Structure 1
Amino acid sequence: MNEEIRLAIADDHALFRRGLANILRTYPGIQVIIEAQDGQDLLNQMALSVPDVVLLDLQMPVLDGIKTTEQLKQHHPSVKIIIISMHDEDGFVTHLMELGANGYLVKDSDPDEVALAVQTVVREDYYYGAFLTKVMHRRMVERTRPKKPSFSHLTQLSDREVEVLQLICEGLTNAQIAGKLFLSDRTVEGHRTRIMEKIGAKNTAAMVVYAVKNGIF
């Protein structure tokens, strides 16, 4: 990456926030520009400087991680959001991803993984890693019976769109999907855009969550 990634950290625990900021400043290409004590403090500081990525605690006073994610997606949709929290329940994870978060880490994650997540969401729009992959796996194996995808008439996907969505879930790029399906990159991008519009997904991570919940992947 040629330009430094501008990073914000919002966490109400000062020791954790400052420690994480100091650690991440040692990684080349990462510049911590905001340290906020809660979601509202983050939004206030972003009026002066907008980061590329936000590391966002889930449980904070004044404005928590869920409400802050909603505000960020409404007012700063280009900012990548990585939730970093003590909560590891599947419900928290999938809800945040549906809201538009680009990644989810638990607070005992290794600093190298945090740095990797920051770099990856800028480059690829989402970061899964071992924790989020386990969550998705649990959601699949916990199904009591096989089910076919079910959609309302407003979110009906074509067979081709389902096929593209499945390949997106496998982590394939547009170029790789195009080669596999004998389509142009532009056609695949068109399918991706229409899928996101139909299911109301804000990013790739939300598309994968949708696919898992509806039995597509």
Structure 2
Amino acid sequence: MNKTFYVVEDHSLMRQGIMGFLAEHSDFECIGYSSNARDFFDAMRSQGEGGLPSVLITDLNIEGSVENGLSLIKNCRSAFPSVRIVVYSMHSAGSIVSGALEAGCDGFVSKMSDEAELKNALENAVLGKRYVDPEIAPNLVTFEKTLSQFTQRENEILRLILQNKSNVQIAEELGINKRTVENCISRIYNKTGFSTHKELIASFGSRDF
């Protein structure tokens, strides 16, 4: 079984720590690293299909934005479907974990957890199994429960946000005033932990509301 990995992490000490730990405590081989998504995709295209890693380990907050991390996951899943994706992140909020899983990652591990959890995630990923760090799994369960408690109006508005509609367009389509839309969006932000339309679209664009 091919057991190789590539790391996308913009903090050099963290990157070295990941590679050093896996070199010493696993049989996974590192075939490359970069600090941003652009360099990762350039490297993958130059490698060709036969040189792809079995697992991509990536931070979620890339170049200062979680949205960039979610885009990396989606684009990697689309361009290189054979590559498994494990997120290794400081983020542990259920909304963030859910968004990453929706984007297409196969595993999610908190940087605050024991490094052995990263190895566990990689081992599961190459077997085609999803793995969520046990320390943050309860956050995901709580968040999914919150989503199930959205009101009909909140679901309607979220669906239109995911269609990239503005607040004015949402108000017109639903026949309600703009202030009502804004109040409802504020509740959606509070429930999901996000604060912009872009973050909602990046995280829930594939969901059916």
- The TM-score by the shorter chain falls in which range? 0.5 to 0.7
1:1-217 matches, within 5 Å, as: 3-47=1-45, 48=47, 49-61=51-63, 64-139=68-143, 142=146
Partners in 1 of 2:76 and 2:69 — Cα distance?
Answer: 10
Q: Secondary structure at the match of 2:25?
A: coil
Deviation track 1:48-107 (CA, whole Å, cap 9, x = no partner) reads 131010111111229931111121011001211111111222222111111111111111
Change in CA separation of 1:140 and 1:13 when aligned onto 2, cut-off 3 Å: closer
Structure 1 length as normaliser, TM-score?
0.61
Structure 1 unmatched ranges of 5 or more: 148-209
Shift of residue 144, structure 1, vs aligned partner: 8.2
Structure 2 length as normaliser, TM-score?
0.63
Partners in 2 of 1:39 and 1:25 — Cα distance?
Answer: 23
Change in CA separation of 1:146 and 1:58 when aligned onto 2, cut-off 3 Å: closer
Partners in 2 of 1:144 and 1:70 — Cα distance?
Answer: 24
Aligned residues with identical type, % of pairs: 22
Shift of residue 133, structure 1, vs aligned partner: 2.2
Partners in 2 of 1:61 and 1:141 — Cα distance?
Answer: 31
Q: Secondary structure at the match of 2:60?
A: coil
Q: Secondary structure at the match of 1:131?
A: coil
Shift of residue 110, structure 1, vs aligned partner: 1.3
Shift of residue 136, structure 1, vs aligned partner: 3.0
Structure 2 unmatched ranges of 5 or more: 152-206
Partners in 2 of 1:76 and 1:143 — Cα distance?
Answer: 30
Change in CA separation of 1:58 and 1:140 when aligned onto 2, cut-off 3 Å: closer
Letter in 2 for 1:98: E
CA RMSD of aligned residues (A): 2.7
Number of residue pairs the alignment of both structures matches: 149
Which structure 1 residue ranges, 4+ long, deviate > 2 Å from structure 2?
61-64, 139-147
Shift of residue 113, structure 1, vs aligned partner: 1.0
Q: Secondary structure at the match of 1:66?
A: helix
Normalized per residue, which structure has more helix?
Answer: 2
